[in-house]
Amino acid sequence: MYKHKKILIMEAGGIGDIVMSTPALRALRERFSDSEIVLLTVPRTAQAINIKQYADRILYFKQEAFSKGPSKSIYKQISSNLKLLLALRREKFDMMIDLQAIETWKASLRRYIFYKSVWAKSSVGRNSDGKGFFLDVKVDDDLFGKVHEVDRKLLIAGALGAETKNRKQEFYVSREDREFINNWMVDFGIDNSRTIIALQPGAFVPSRQWKGEGFVEIGRRLCRKYKAQIIITGGNNDNIAYKINNDLKDVQSVLAVGLPLSRLGALLERVHLFVSNDTGPFHIADAINTPYVVLFGPENPYRYGPYDTKSNSRIVTGMKVTCSPCLKYTCRTHECMESITTDMVWDGVESLLKELKKEKQL
């Protein structure tokens, strides 16, 4: 059998994408234990995993290359990574494995150009609704079907002879991260004897972001009924996180923005419930088994919904509209997310809190 001495694995998606890739990455590492594996990803998501578990080396390309984000011209997306492409070509990979879906024909053309430029001996990936026709090893992929993204990625590993029984997602949290968060919580007077709830009002993809006033109302209800301590999570540039924290000053919420992902994971380990838009951090909660309520609008909840934490999670979905599910980065009407009411989210929060109390997790 031909031995693949050097393999390139590409996962250029967001935080959630790389967390959902961990079972496939683990399976591929075990399958090709004697090969040199290079992981190609984007800087903002690489910190979500312990690279040494899955690859020998890591390389980065610019955010706009293939990941979800504002659309840019094919020329700009390829030319911005020209130096990387030349470096990859010199590596002379035996095989290139792409774990991401090919969601549009424009993305299909980008992938084709990219693969030809890298010049690996064989290419493996997802034939998303026929858009991966040029791949040497294709795994059929129905973008709007009911198969979860974790399982879709594992199908690629399985097609290459990997053992795929272990489907648990992984997110690494170090002892140092836990110590930091412990001290952080003490400094902010967060009492472990009370119910601790984290809210994630921002989203990397704007079309998936629920209205800010809804999160404010949920926070107030939690404080009134459960005397909960509210923590607002988000990135440094999540203006909505700062606004909601300010709007909740009457209940003395705590702002936790800009934490490295490993420390965010340590924080989510300590909360009793996480209420989030459909965005990366909820996948971290899923991987570490933190109970959560997630709000879905334009995306496919079968593909991106709860996986490891199904029994301790709730999905709140907006009304079905003619354009849903969709892959838009921004949306003019935002109709599906606007249709989610505060009472709908509250019902999900309350039912899960009651279940957790019954199970004595609270």
Let me know whether 147 and 185 are in one domain: no
Same domain for 208 and 348, yes or no, is yes
Do residue 49 and residue 151 come from a single domain? yes
What is the H or E stretch that residue 72 is in?
Answer: none
- Domain end, chosen from 109, 124, 159, is at 159
Whole-number pLDDT of residue 79: 65
pLDDT for the residue numbered 68: 53
**How many distinct structural domains can be found in the chain?**
2
- 21 in any annotated domain: yes
> Using an 8 Å Cβ cutoff, are 15 and 283 in contact?
yes
Based on the fold, state whether residues 62 and 98 are members of the same structural domain: yes
- Residue 41, in any domain of the structure: yes
Asked if 8 and 88 count as a contact pair (C-beta separation under 8 A), the reply is yes
Q: Is 315 exposed, middle or buried (0-12, 13-18, 19+ CB in 10 A)?
A: middle
Please give the pLDDT value at position 1. Answer: 46
In a domain, 48, yes or no: yes
Q: Is there a single domain that holds both residue 145 and residue 216?
A: no
Residues ≥6 apart with Cβ < 8 Å to 65: 12, 42, 77, 80, 81
CATH number for the domain that contains residue 280: 3.40.50.2000
Tokens of 101: 């879906």
Residue 168 lies in a domain: no
Instruction: Walk along the chain (362 residues) and give the pLDDT tens digit of each residue.
Output: 467 999 999 998 899 999 999 999 999 999 999 999 999 998 888 889 999 999 999 999 865 555 555 555 555 656 667 888 899 999 999 999 999 999 999 889 989 999 999 999 999 999 999 999 999 999 999 999 999 999 999 999 999 999 999 999 999 999 999 999 999 999 999 988 899 999 999 999 999 999 999 999 999 999 999 999 999 999 988 999 999 999 999 998 999 999 999 999 999 999 999 999 999 999 999 999 999 999 999 999 999 999 998 889 999 998 888 787 888 889 888 899 999 999 999 999 999 999 998 887 66
Residues 155 and 182 in one domain: no
The last residue of one of the domains, among 124, 159, 194, is 159
Are both 88 and 236 inside the same structural domain? no
Boundaries of domain holding 87: 6-159
SS3 for 191-251 is CCCCCEEEEECCCCCHHHCCCHHHHHHHHHHHHHHHCCEEEEEECCCCHHHHHHHHHCHHH
**Residues with Cβ within 8 Å of residue 258, at least 6 apart in sequence:** 234, 235, 236
115 and 192 both lie in a single domain: no
Judged by DSSP in three states, 59 sits in strand
The answer to whether position 347 is within a domain reads: yes
Tokens of 253: 């919420």
Within a domain: 200: yes
pLDDT of 325 reads 84
For 293-310, letters b (16+ CB in 10 Å) and e give bbbbbbbbbebbbbbbbe
Residue 31 CB-half CA count within 13 A: 19
Q: Most distant CA pair in the chain: distance in Å?
A: 67
Query: What are the backbone angles phi and psi of residue 64, rounded to the nearest 5°?
Result: -80, 0
Q: Give the number of other Cβ atoms within 10 Å of residue 153's Cβ.
A: 28
Claim to verify: residue 243 and residue 351 sit in the same structural domain: yes
> Are 230 and 251 within 8 A, CB to CB?
yes
352 close to 228: Cβ distance less than 8 angstroms: no
Q: What is the DSSP string of 301-348?
A: HHHHS-STTGGGEEEEE----TT-S---SS-SS-HHHHT--HHHHHHH
pLDDT at 296 (0 to 100): 96
Residues 112 and 240 in one domain: no
85 located within any domain: yes
Q: 132 is written with which tokens?
A: 């991966």
Distance between start and end Cα atoms, the chain: 54
Q: How many helices (H) and strands (E) does the chain have?
A: 14, 12
pLDDT at 82: 82
Please give the pLDDT value at position 43.
Answer: 86
User: Are 92 and 60 part of one and the same domain?
Assistant: yes
Contacts of 179 (CB under 8 A, 6+ apart): none
Q: Which helix (H) or strand (E) holds 293?
A: strand 292-296
Regarding whether 283 and 228 lie in a shared domain, the answer is yes
Residue 164 is assigned to a structural domain of this protein: no
| Domain final position from 126, 159, 192 | 159
Predicted confidence at residue 65, as pLDDT, reads 53
What does the pLDDT read at residue 333?
A: 87
φ, ψ dihedrals at 42, nearest 5°: -110, 150
Nearest partner of 247 among 214, 207, 206, judged by Cα = 214
Burial class (CB in 10 A: 0-12, 13-18, 19+), 341: middle
